[in-house]
Amino acid sequence: MTNAQLSDTIVRAARQAVADACAVCREVQQKCDEVRSVTKDDRSPVTVADFASQAVIAHRLRELDSELRLVGEENADALRATPALLEHVHRAVKRVWPEATTDAVLEAIDLGGADGGAGSFWTLDPIDGTKGFLRGQQYAVSLGFVENGVPTLGVLGCPNLSPDFSRSFDDPDTSGVLYVATLGAGVEECPADDANASATTVRRSPFDTSGPVRICESVEKAHSSHDATQQILDQIGKARDPQRLDSQCKYAVVARGQADAYLRMPTKKGYIERIWDHAAGAIVATESGCIVTDVRGGTLDFSHGRGLDRNLGIVCAPAPLHEELIDAIRSLKLDRPPEER
């Protein structure tokens, strides 16, 4: 399937698949204590949601395309070895796929075993932001379609993110929001719990270069260097305190103008970003009018398998600010791997 084949039917189906996965994940999150009581594992609720989300989306995509190429984060080996976990996943999936058998669920999850690379394929992060999910805060279901190294469709479900900018990121919304971006056609927002609801166009307002900069970054220091981000903000000299939240929701927050930039500064030697962590979010941000590159200003290249092997870190911001951030990163010599600084 190529970009020319991204018909309204396919876009609607991808949107519905992510909405279904959001519904499943929301229900699992509400039953965290029940899942933990059976599995005796504090992380098991997010594991159940991860597998269930991938099963639901892979199944829906396979209905559209019998030759589906899906680069997913999960495979079903762990479920085959843990019957209690599989039962919870099966139960969660049946909320939106009532006829699913356990074998069908396992088969659907294993559809995510493609390696990506050249040509066209889907890439999926069924739960982006595992710690946010476990805290009852922000996480995302992130589905992207990539062609020749470029995302051409992104569906980003944010089940706990409110459309109300006055709401704290720590205060989960009951409906959430869902973003659908198609290359060259812009990005739309609708409630995450109703994929058929009327959608509104999201367009980033021009950045006021004279005002303060509102940065959003990862909650977890292991995911992005907070120290490096602070150095960059000090260099440009007009920063507010950063807003911290988990997952690709950060791309949406910048796309809709609630924050001005998202920085992901490398923290570990040899770390390579995964394509499913950025494909959907990147096209949502770019189609809203932002620029998304690595820390050297290079275009993100999704054509090298499961990782962004040719890129280092992430910078997402509207045009005037993006240039200013890249200049600051270069001046501070932060455009190098951590081990070379």
Q: Of all helices (H) and strands (E), which one includes residue 19?
A: helix 8-30
Which of 39, 47, 123, 130 is an active site residue?
Answer: 130
d(CA 190, CA 178): 5
Active site includes 82?
Answer: no
Q: At 325, is the secondary structure helix, strand, or coil?
A: helix
Which of 20, 50, 193, 335 is an active site residue?
Answer: 50
In contact, 308 and 273? CB cutoff 8 Å: yes
Q: How many residues appear in the chain? A: 341
Structure tokens at 93: 């999936």
d(CA 318, CA 323): 9
d(CA 45, CA 50): 9
d(CA 203, CA 340): 38
Q: Of all helices (H) and strands (E), which one includes residue 282?
A: helix 279-288
Active site includes 130?
Answer: yes
d(CA 230, CA 299): 24
Closest listed residue to residue 122, CA positions, set 59, 186, 196:
59
Neighbours of 174 (CB within 10 A): 10
d(CA 235, CA 64): 49
Structure tokens at 287: 């189609």
Active site residues: 50, 130
